[in-house]
């Protein structure tokens, strides 16, 4: 069954993780070691193999830190690979399926369960124009020595689905978790793509300045010898 045809339940277990954002279509490796998440994994593997990855809020009061409060927008993931080790920990490869809104936390023990609703993305015709600009900026980023490796460019190039292209590019290229969460929360794919383009272009400016400065210093060293 294609992941696009998978029905998202209204209630799912969740991992609330600090500094982690999962995008739909992206692959995320996870090491499952906490006892609560070991039990969660055992349960989801005999059910629908789905659970939510929600980013933990850091802008909370001191008395709220232990509550692991999640951002309202998160992503449901599907366990594609699960390998259990002799020590009871597991390696999991999770594929993002769908953005969701968290309506409430219905259970905390033995692991967290969320009440959720799927969120559709509005795909505008203008996204194709932004995609062309993103590809050019990624090619520049690769030449400047950024995160856009040849492997990433080859992976993105054949993607026909505009949502998959933008989300996978954001997953691999964006460094800042706040930027990732901001993009994930955008209902408009055009806005999400524009945010990504701005991030790549800003990174390219930094890399260009760094490379230019490094080159000038190198020339100064040569001239001083």
In contact, 72 and 101? CB cutoff 8 Å: yes
What's the pLDDT tens digit per position in 34-83? 999 999 999 999 999 999 999 999 887 776 777 899 999 999 999 999 99
**Centroid of chain to Cα 84:** 24
Percent of the chain past pLDDT 90, that is, above it, reads 85
Lowest mean pLDDT among 15-19, 60-64, 77-81, 217-221: 217-221
Domain boundaries, the chain: 7-118, 127-224
Kindly state the DSSP code that residue 225 receives in the 8-state scheme: -
Where is 203: in which H helix or E strand? helix 189-224
Q: Assign 2 a pLDDT band (cuts: 50, 70, 90).
A: very low
Q: Do domains 7-118 and 127-224 have the same CATH topology?
A: no
Q: How far apart are CA 48 and CA 148, in angstroms?
A: 34
User: Please, how many CA atoms are within 13 Å of residue 152, restricted to the half-sphere of its CB?
Assistant: 24
Tally of CB atoms within 10 A around 85: 11
What average pLDDT does the segment 11-24 reach?
97
CATH architecture of 7-118: Roll (2.30)
Given a cut of 90, whether residue 224 has pLDDT beyond it is: no
Count, residues in the chain: 225
| pLDDT value, residue 219 | 44
Q: Select 127-224's CATH number: 3.90.25, 1.20.1300, 2.60.40, 1.20.58.
A: 1.20.58
Bond from prior residue into 184 cis (ω within 30 degrees of 0): no
In contact, 168 and 196? CB cutoff 8 Å: no
Given a cut of 80, whether residue 214 has pLDDT beyond it is: no
């Amino acid at each position: 069954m294609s992941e696009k045809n998978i029905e998202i339940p209204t209630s799912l277990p969740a991992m609330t993780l600090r500094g982690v954002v999962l995008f739909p279509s992206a692959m995320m490796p996870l090491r499952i070691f906490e006892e609560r998440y070991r039990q969660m994994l055992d349960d989801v593997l005999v059910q629908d193999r789905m659970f939510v990855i929600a980013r933990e809020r850091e802008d909370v009061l001191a008395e709220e830190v232990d509550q692991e409060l999640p951002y309202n927008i998160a992503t449901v993931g599907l366990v594609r690979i699960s390998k259990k080790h002799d020590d009871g920990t597991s390696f999991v490869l999770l594929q993002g399926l769908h953005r969701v809104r968290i309506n409430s936390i219905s259970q905390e023990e033995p692991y967290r369960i969320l009440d959720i609703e799927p969120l559709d993305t509005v795909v505008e015709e203008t996204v194709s124009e932004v995609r062309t600009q993103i590809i050019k900026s990624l090619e520049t980023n690769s030449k400047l020595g950024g995160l856009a490796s040849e492997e990433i460019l080859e992976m993105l190039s054949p993607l026909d689905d505009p949502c998959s292209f933008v989300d996978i590019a954001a997953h691999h290229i964006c460094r800042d978790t706040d930027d990732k969460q901001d993009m994930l929360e955008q209902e408009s794919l055009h806005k999400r793509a524009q945010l990504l383009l701005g991030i790549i272009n800003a990174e390219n400016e930094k890399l260009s300045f760094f490379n230019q400065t490094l080159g000038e210093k190198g020339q100064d060293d040569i001239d001083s010898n």
